[in-house]
Structures are given as structure tokens and as C-alpha cells.
Amino acid sequence: MKINFKNSSFFKLLPKRKKNIISIATETTTSHKPLKNNNLKHKKRDIYTSLIHFKTMIISTKTKYFLQNTTG
């Protein structure tokens, strides 16, 4: 079952340019691992956790890049 990301409440709060990247990220992170129960509650939680992982990934790469360019 395909989940519609655009109707999610937390998704609407994000800036428009990030929506594409995040929808791709959540789709790939949630699709490769099978869900325990086939209900929407678990799927929503999975999407939310993958969003958090994706956000932290962006933040860590940004800080790495910043540190590399300032301490050089």
C-alpha cells in the first residue's frame, strides 16, 4: 500500500523545497523493511522516525561541511 505523504500533518509544516527530498527519503527507508502490522498507525510512526533520521543526517553532513571549510 502506498502512503500519501502530501496529506500528512507534519509534512505540511515543512518548507516546500524540502518536500521532494524528504518524500523520496521516507519512501526508500520505509519500503525496504517490512512492517510488523499492516495498520496505518505503525506506518505513520515508521515514516516519522525515518524523517527524523533523515533530518539528523542532513544536520550532521552540514556541520561536517562547515567544520571542514572553517578549520582549513
Look at the chain and report how many structural domains it folds into: 1
Burial of 26 (C-beta count, 10 Å sphere; 0-12/13-18/19+): buried
The low-confidence residues of the chain, meaning pLDDT below 50, are 1, 19, 24-32, 35, 37, 72
Query: 51 lies in which domain range?
Result: 9-70
Instruction: Look at residue 13 in the predicted model and tell me its pLDDT.
Output: 57
Residue at 1 is within a domain: no
Angstrom distance (rounded) from CA 15 to CA 33: 27
Residue at 22 is within a domain: yes
DSSP 13: T
Instruction: Look at residue 46 in the predicted model and tell me its pLDDT.
Output: 62
Instruction: Look at residue 6 in the predicted model and tell me its pLDDT.
Output: 53
Residue at 2 is within a domain: no
22, 54 Cβ separation under 8 angstroms: yes
Main-chain phi, psi angles of 4, to 5 degrees = -85, 110
